[in-house]
Amino acid sequence: MQRRHFCHALLLSAGALAATAAWPALAASATAEVQVFKSPTCGCCGAWVEHMRAAGFRVKVTEVDDTTAARKRLGLPDRYGSCHTATVAGYVLEGHVPAAEVKRLLATRPQALGLAVPGMPPSAPGMDVPGRKDPYDVLLIGTDGQSRVFASYPRKAAG
């Protein structure tokens, strides 16, 4: 009987430790401020800002005539460009990056420049076109300017 109690206590302790370890990342994503640089006339950028707010991010918008300067200042190569550039917790976000991927970035904290969705895919957040599910990739941009796929959309159904 003592062995059963010990194992139960050990499992509870491991669960509590895992929850405690995950808490800073969850709290960081909930309180992280996203600084967005966008054109004052771009409606899809505004829709992306609302997508981020709906996901729990605080968002500060700075309207600029040309986002290329912000992208360049942050060290993001032009080949990853889109219609708006943002920063969060030391990372660069370029284009219509889904909030779920930003939260995953903040939870995993990889050594990287940030995330990008180059161009303006019609099924990305803020670009939503009813009935369209065009595939696109969210790229993780390394500090060397190289990229790898961080996530692909639309997501495949499990099973």
For residue 118, is it within any domain? yes
* Burial of residue 29, with CB atoms counted within 10 A of its CB: 0-12 exposed, 13-18 middle, 19 or more buried: buried
Question: What's the average model confidence in pLDDT over 11-35?
Answer: 53
Read off the pTM.
0.79
For residue 2, is it within any domain? no
Tell me what pLDDT residue 139 has.
98
Q: What's the CATH code of the domain at 55?
A: 3.40.30.10
Ramachandran bin of 123, using left for φ above 0, alpha for ψ from -120 to 50, beta for the remaining angles: alpha
For residue 123, is it within any domain? yes
User: Looking at the predicted structure, is the pLDDT value of residue 3 above 90?
Assistant: no
Average pLDDT, the chain: 84
For residue 159, is it within any domain? no
Buried b (16+ CB within 10 A) or exposed e, 87-117: bbeebbbbbbbbbebbbbbbeeeeebbbbbb
Question: What's the average model confidence in pLDDT over 118-140?
Answer: 92
Indicate the SS3 state at residue 13: helix
Residue 65 lies in domain: 32-153
Domain count for the chain: 1
Q: Which of 12-26, 55-69, 81-95, 126-140 has the lowest mean pLDDT?
A: 12-26
Question: What's the average model confidence in pLDDT over 126-153?
Answer: 94
Nearest to 87 by CA among 136, 32, 124, 139: 32
Tell me what pLDDT residue 62 has.
95
Round to whole Å and give the CA distance between 31 and 115: 19
Question: What's the average model confidence in pLDDT over 137-155?
Answer: 95
For residue 63, is it within any domain? yes
For residue 37, is it within any domain? yes
Per-residue pLDDT tens for 25-77? 444 455 689 999 999 988 889 999 999 999 999 999 999 998 999 999 999 99
Tell me what pLDDT residue 156 has.
60
CB 29 within 8 A of CB 104: no
For residue 19, is it within any domain? no
For residue 87, is it within any domain? yes
